[in-house]
Amino acid sequence: MKVVLQSEPFDPGFLLTAFGARHPEAGAVASFSGYVRAEGGGTGSLELEAYPGLTDVEIGRFGEAAAERFGLIDWLVVHRIGLIPAGEAIVFVATASRHRREAFEACDFLMDYLKSRAPFWKKSHGPDGARWIEPSDRDRTDLERWETP
């Protein structure tokens, strides 16, 4: 499966090693590991809601678009859902291609999508209570660069 949504913690190093080992034909594997930021004590945890059959399918569609656009050999997205404490990994993206540029760009492309358009509902929990989080202007701008011909 190329999209994994899970509430359990994961080890990005283990995921990267396993992904790379499955692709001896790749000339490059790029990855990104994202963590819940503490925001200077303002965030104790993030809570992510997702709907099976919607969130995973939409991410899968975008992953397949990335594979076609960048000529990927393979790709993987692992994303946490539920309550995730600050400091823990929340997302892992890996891409395999024949050449480095395509692997880097596809990984960046997938992360820009995940930050801006993936159907997750995010809530930050901190000392001042809980608040819903929307994509930032920067997140939207990062995604727009891929939409320009």
**For 10-64, what is each residue's pLDDT tens digit?**
999 999 999 999 999 999 999 999 999 887 777 889 999 999 899 999 999 999 9
Domain region containing 124:
3-147
**Interval 56-91: pLDDT, tens:** 999 999 999 999 999 999 999 999 999 999 999 999
| Number of domains making up the chain | 1
Flag whether pLDDT at 1 surpasses 80: no
Structure tokens at 69: 């656009």
Beta strand pairing call for 74-80 and 3-6: parallel
The pLDDT assigned to 149 comes to 62
Return the H-helix or E-strand segment holding 113.
helix 100-116
Burial of 110 (0-12, 13-18, 19+ CB in 10 A): buried
Question: Residue 41 belongs to a domain with what CATH number?
Answer: 3.90.1170.40
Residues 143/112, Cβ–Cβ less than 8 Å: yes
pTM: 0.93
Residues 77/111, Cβ–Cβ less than 8 Å: no
Flag whether pLDDT at 134 surpasses 90: no
Between 16 and 131, residue with greater pLDDT: 16
Answer positive or negative: Cα dihedral of 40, 108, 136, 9.
negative
How many angstroms separate the CA atoms of 80 and 66, rounded? 21
Flag whether pLDDT at 115 surpasses 80: yes
